[in-house]
């Protein structure tokens, strides 16, 4: 993971975090495990628009459609 502290004219405190595809996938796997869900289960919750928790919904917003787990 690379952290870049970057100052943009319109913001005083922007920090950009760059992760590899492998790091992103591992974070997604870890988050799913913490929720006790598979990616397929999370995807089904998204299709039904009924999430078991706010964390599950937030995870879908973060990873939905971006990984093939």
Coil, helix or strand for 16? Answer: strand
Residue 8 and residue 23 in contact, taking contact as beta carbons nearer than 8 Å = no
Tens digits of per-residue pLDDT, 15-69?
677 888 899 999 999 999 999 999 999 999 999 999 999 999 999 999 998 888 8
Residue 3: predicted pLDDT? 47
- The DSSP code for 17 is E
> How many CA atoms within 13 Å lie on the side-chain side of 13?
0
Q: Give the pLDDT confidence score for residue 67 in this predicted structure.
A: 87
DSSP β-bridge partners for residue 23: none
| Whole-number Å distance between alpha carbons of 67 and 22 | 10
Residues in the chain: 69
Residue 6 has pLDDT above 60, yes or no: no
């Amino acid at each position: 993971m690379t952290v870049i502290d970057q100052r943009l004219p319109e913001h005083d405190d922007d920090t950009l975090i760059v992760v590899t595809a492998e790091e992103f996938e591992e974070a997604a796997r870890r988050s799913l495990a913490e929720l006790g869900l598979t990616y397929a289960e999370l995807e089904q919750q998204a299709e039904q628009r009924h999430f078991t928790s706010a964390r599950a919904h937030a995870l879908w917003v973060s990873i939905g459609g971006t990984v093939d787990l």
